[in-house]
Amino acid sequence: MVPDYHIHTILCKHAQGEMGDYRKVACEKSLPEICFTDHAPNPDEYDSEHRMGMAQFPEYKKIVLSLSDDNPPAVLFGVEADYYENCTCFLEDWLAEQPLDLVIGSVHFIKKWGFDNPNERSVWDSVDVTNTWRIYFQLVERLVDTRLFDVAGHLDLPKKFGYRPSDKDLKEIVQPVLDRIATAKMAVELNTSGLRKPVNEIYPSAMLLGLAYEREIPICFGSDAHLPEEVGYRFEEALNLAKDVGYTHAVRFSGRHQISYPLP
Ligand code: ZN
Ligand code: FE
Ligand code: FE
Ligand code: ZN
């Protein structure tokens, strides 16, 4: 099996279980490596109900760094950090100061709208769907251009509830963004949490992943586990998707550097 590079912890207030139990499940599923990537804290109140406070970060770091022993799976230290307006003021210095293996960059908000939050789902019925995707990918483009992130998280997250543009519109919207991801040498994750959501599809779709493959954008795998039993969730399907579009390799991370490995 392949590493799981997208795992949350109870510190984010919407996940459950001991961090050791997440590793235990990874061990049972024979994952060679996992990376905790809990929602990064910030000092500016941004989305504070879904993340640890700044004061909890040292505890997070301490536990993650203490979880590795001589046996697999190795445990890497990461965060899922949101791109939002003015996030760089803080992230630029803060990320550089942490001994991180991996930083996932995600967009979860359009202005004040948590477009992937089930409680705010009804907003989708009152917006222009295609235009909303356009705005989302403008934010992803800015995320990429900061050069602060290693992996683009759940790249087509706006599809979560099934609201999506035509393939033709989506292609036109996403290709310039993928060009920038390729230039930035960022990776894209195959995030299996979409299989637990109404859309019932891995992020990104086969079409988007095919466009990423054409641009030689590296990939990694993540379950976005918020429960221990979700670690490695339906990774067989993610592996098949990767191979179906042509991938033969994925990347591991260490100290924020990519290391290519052949898919099993
Ligand atoms: Zn979360
Ligand atoms: Fe996320
Ligand atoms: Fe996540
Ligand atoms: Zn996520």
- Beta bridge partners of residue 189, listed in sequence order: 220
- The C-alpha atoms of residue 117 and residue 91 are separated, in whole angstroms, by 24
| Contact criterion met (CB below 8 Å) for 95 and 148 | yes
- Cα of 255 from ligand 1 centre, angstroms: 23
| Contact criterion met (CB below 8 Å) for 1 and 26 | no
- Predicted confidence at residue 70, as pLDDT, reads 87
* pLDDT tens-digit map of 202-238: 999 999 999 999 999 999 999 999 999 999 999 999 9
- Cα of 215 from ligand 1 centre, angstroms: 29
Ligand nearest the Cα atom of residue 7: 3
Confidence (pTM) = 0.98
- Cα of 254 from ligand 4 centre, angstroms: 20
Phi and psi for 2 in degrees, rounded to 5?
A: -110, 160
Ligand nearest the Cα atom of residue 51: 1
* pLDDT tens-digit map of 94-150: 999 999 999 999 999 999 999 999 999 999 999 999 999 999 999 999 999 999 999
From the number of C-beta atoms within 10 Å of its C-beta (0-12, 13-18, 19+), residue 19 rates as buried
- Cα of 168 from ligand 4 centre, angstroms: 26
* pLDDT tens-digit map of 239-253: 999 999 999 999 999
